[in-house]
Structure 1
């Protein structure tokens, strides 16, 4: 389940995630971006990840559609989690052109905010 958090920066979307990624989560995030940013505006995402159980196939497909649609708008992606596989996934994000990603542990939330807002 995706929950929006208070952001410290107008160009950073702060979210908290717990459970399975669903189609509704992808739609919620897409609507949020659509309402706040033009198609040329770059934005960051700071994601606090808790008990991530995986995703439904439909949620995964819609998440990929969101990523493809917003690809050129992504700037930085900060992942805050204690999950090793999410750390590895965040490091893979640096391979994608134009996107910087970084993993932070739960006790490094201020460092994550500092990094994403630079």
Structure 2
């Protein structure tokens, strides 16, 4: 499930991810992406991972579709979590993306929020 958080910044999409991500979750984020790109801005992502277990099949396919369509629209990304595999996934995202991507431990949320807001 994806919960949209208040980001306080126009181009930041902040979400808390718990459990499994579904197609419906991705569909509720897509309009936020278009709202930012329609203003000519790059999207900055703040992902807060809490007991994140993955995607259902439809959710994965929808996420891949959206990411493929908007990859050039993504700017900085930050992932906040407490699992080693989440840190490794962040490193893989950084490797395969032109975006600047960083991982912060769960107890560093405030630092992560400040980092994503910086130009």
Same fold (TM over 0.5): yes
Q: Report the CA distance between 1:107 and its aligned residue.
A: 1.0
Matches within 5 A, 1:6-85: 6-38=6-38, 40-85=40-85
* Number of residue pairs matched by the alignment: 118
Cα RMSD (Å) of the superposition?
A: 1.4
Unmatched segments (≥5 aa) in structure 1: none
CA distance in structure 2 between the partners assigned to 1:98 and 1:8 by the alignment: 24
| Conservation of the 8 A alpha-carbon contact between 1:93 and 1:100 | no
Deviation >4 Å, runs of 4+: none
Task: Please tell me whether residue 104 in structure 1 is matched to residue 117 in structure 2.
Answer: no
TM-score, normalisation: structure 2 = 0.91
For structure 1, which segment, 7-16 or 90-99, has the greater mean C-alpha deviation from structure 2 after superposition?
A: 90-99
Unmatched segments (≥5 aa) in structure 2: none
